[in-house]
Amino acid sequence: MPSSPRLSVLRAHGDAARELSARAGEAATATCAQALRWWLVATMLLLALLCHPGRGDAQLIETTENRIEYQDGGFDLAASFDFDLPPALEDALHKGISLYFVVEFQLTRPRWYWFDDKPVNTTRSVRLSYQPLTRQYRVSTGGLQLPFTRLKSALQFIQQVRGWRVFERNAVKPGETYQAQVRMRLDLSQLPKPFQINAVNTREWNLSSEWRHFNYTVPTNPEAQPVVPIAPPSPPLSPPASPPASSVPPASLPSSPSPGSSPAPASVPASASAPAASNSDARTPFSQTVSTVLSPSQLVQPSASQP
């Protein structure tokens, strides 16, 4: 039978072995947990890349025009976009799903001493729907609703942004230069939930444009309009001069012959004897020539046998 010191030594060695084995198990468990966490993070990143396509996979909307105009005490945005509706969106539209297109506008003024000033950040939503009974497309924005018989006409109306009041005069400082940003996108959050899940995994549903940047300097006096000089009125045109009256005296009518005398030969007008080349000479009017040749006294001749 071992003595008591021997038993204490054996007990000490057994406790140390158990402690070492416990520490080794904890280390192995920690290593496995860390490996599992890294695997989960890598899996989530891979799923995120697969579910959210990059910018190159999205259907891009081209921005063809953008400018700011001053109208009635405020500033309006005029912009133009160009895109075609993918077949998947057109099919969903004909099945009764409304599409919402959002135009976003931001106005930023850079500041070197602090964060950039963003006095304007506004959006405009346009709803496109299809009515199967009337076979018409409807475009709704604000309180305005317009029907269209063709999808192309409805898309052309959506692509043209005119008269949209983006900010008032008191929101900006005259003479300051701001950086404006405009873009259009399809709002996926307005779709039904099943279509939102499908839109995340489908390339054709990611319809968006790039941010279009341009600088705009606020005019100091926007009400001043350039004065257009008015040309003096032109003098009235003088009426054309009347042609001079003919100086040729009218041909004298022949006197009626007495009874028993032979009729005098008709007098030939002077214009008949003039040569044809003298066109510049004055001629006798046509009515006067006829009255001279065909005189009543020559047409009706009294006979000599009448008393």
Instruction: Give pLDDT tens digits for 248-269.
Output: 444 444 444 444 444 444 444 4
Long-range CB pairs of 141-147 (<8 Å, 24+ gap) are: none
Q: Supply the pLDDT for residue 79.
A: 95
Instruction: Look at the block and give the residue holding tokens 């950039």.
Output: 116
Q: What is the CA radius of gyration of the chain?
A: 52
Predicted pLDDT at 258: 47
Report the predicted TM-score, pTM, of the whole model to 2 decimal places: 0.55
- Among residues 176, 183, 152, 174, the alpha carbon closest in space to that of 77 is found at 183
* pLDDT tens sequence across 185-211: 999 999 888 888 777 777 778 889 999
Q: How many residues does the chain have?
A: 307
The rounded distance, in Å, linking the Cα atoms of 185 and 101 is 6
Give pLDDT < 50 ranges for the chain.
Answer: 7, 9-10, 52-56, 227-233, 247-307
